[in-house]
Structure 1
Amino acid sequence: MTRQNFIPASSQGSPMVLALIPWWDMGNHDNGELTTDFNVEIDSSEYRACRSFNSGDQVFMSYGKRPNSELFLHNGFVHVNNRSDDVKLRLGVSKSDALVNLKCELLKELGIPSSAEFHLPYTSQPYRPVGNFLAFLRVFNMDQGDLEEWTRKENKEDLLQPEPALPVDAKVFRFLATRIKLILSAYFSSLKEDENMLAERDLSPCLKLALLLRITEKRILTKIVADLEKVQF
């Protein structure tokens, strides 16, 4: 599947057909902008370097802003320093929650599903939830009084904004840190144990890749917990 590329069948731009592009397809991935396009005027696929390279350097391309889980599944490698990496986190309002109706109604007005998959991203900056994820966490952690108050408000979109901080935010950060710790505890090995295992020389290529994927996931989760626990309210 990863060797099939859609290109126009003619200079008119349609229909699209599948093609192999062997020389271009040998390029390895690195962080950067996706700079491949199809030039219909010369009937060729074109790639422009996403940064400067010196003579003798390997020229890398970007496969797009994709997390390691997708690169591993579709391309068969793990990019340890992937600036587009993330870990998926599924959260939902339980039907057994006594406040399920109030929470779901408020989320609906914000255009946010009551059950969704959110992304915990790699970031070199201190992590803070933003946008729909922040609003979901706020609603999820509200008590009845807060829910009724926000349901009456016209400026519900303020729940999407990190500033000003809301009284519920302290609970939000504690909840998210605890939830991520539960994910980490579900692994049968620690991050340190995985890193020690990676240092062993007799790992098969497949086992090494699976181990690298697990390590990159744990590094993201561990850093986010540390960032959340540093927040002062």
Structure 2
Amino acid sequence: MTRENMIPRSRPLNAATANGDDTSQDQPDNIAALIPFWDMANHRQGRVTSFFNVGTQEMESAAQSDFKAGEQIFIHYGDRANADLMIHNGFINPTNPKDYICIKLGLGTSDPLFEQRAKLLLLMQITKNTDLKVLPPPTYISPQLLAFVRVFNMNAQQLEHWITSERAMDLLHIDCALETTLESKTWQYLQTRLMLLLRVFPTTLEADEEQLAAYKKGELYFCYVEAMVLEYRVLEKRILAAALEYARQRVKA
């Protein structure tokens, strides 16, 4: 998959279109392609500087910084979480500023307020069953995750108020003015959910950090994949643990 790049499909005039039998509408807009040389460039955090030139039918890529002859050329693969980098590219970035952990949340159809909750979520362009992000410090909880949990904990009167309000998008903001009871329930829910996610792991963060430190000192052997998975698990748990502590502080406040 790392060698497969989707580029715009060129649609030259052919015999079928010349005869009025235009089948090009049935073709997808993009086609998978191999791009030699560019495809071999390794990743470095930065910005995307590679673009496909439809006019010349070529991939154009600019360097993010100056480099000398013989030095390795890097490109930015995009703002991907470590889970995506590991699965699709075979590595992780321990200092990835775009890292996040997804948790799956959804509304229960047996909830008597299901329709109202789904309607309010839709106003914020959030689906009723979705993956939402837990982020590294200093953000911790993504706006969409915070809004979803707020809606999930609203009563009928609160839902009606926000559905009819022109300021529904305010629910995405950390400093949104809400009733104390609702805000308390929101952060208590997040605290409980994050705590349960951490308890699913068979090992603790501290135990994983000790193993990782021993591996890096050469005191413990892991193959590359085992070491990468261990380090990913440490990074994942750190994000969840930091968000859990943040939620605890919000509950106390």
TM bucket normalised to smaller: 0.7 to 0.9
Residue of structure 2 in register with 1:221 after alignment: 240
The partner residue of 1:133 within 124, 141, 145 is: 145
Distance 1:147 1:39 in 2: 48
For residues 1-233 of structure 1, what are the structure 2 equivalents within 5 Å? 1-7=1-7, 18-39=32-53, 44-53=58-67, 58-122=72-136, 124-130=137-143, 132-167=144-179, 168-198=182-212, 199-200=214-215, 201-231=220-250, 233=253
**Which shifted more, 134-143 or 159-168?**
159-168
Q: Which runs of 5+ in 1 are unaligned?
A: none
| Conserved 8 A contact 1:137-1:172 | yes
Distance 2:126 2:30 in 1: 35
Q: Tell me the percent identity.
A: 36
Coordinate RMSD, CA, aligned: 3.0
1:212 positional shift: 2.1
| Conserved 8 A contact 1:11-1:41 | no
SS in 2 for 1:104: helix
1:73 positional shift: 1.1
**Which shifted more, 150-159 or 202-211?**
150-159
Distance 1:22 1:172 in 2: 50
1:46 positional shift: 2.7
Q: Which runs of 5+ in 2 are unaligned?
A: 13-23
1:43 positional shift: 5.6
| Conserved 8 A contact 1:11-1:43 | no
SS in 1 for 2:140: coil
| Conserved 8 A contact 1:87-1:120 | yes
1:183 positional shift: 0.3
Residue of structure 1 in register with 2:21 after alignment: none
Work out the number of aligned pairs and report it.
230
SS in 1 for 2:92: coil
| Conserved 8 A contact 1:68-1:213 | yes
Distance 2:8 2:109 in 1: 49
SS in 2 for 1:230: helix
Distance 1:154 1:9 in 2: 42
The AA in structure 1 aligned to 2:2 is T
1:84 positional shift: 1.5
Normalized against structure 1, the TM-score is what? Answer: 0.81
1:24 positional shift: 2.3
1:192-217 superposed Cα distances (whole Å, 9 cap, x missing partner)? 21122223331112211222221221
Higher gyration radius (CA): 2
1:156 positional shift: 3.2
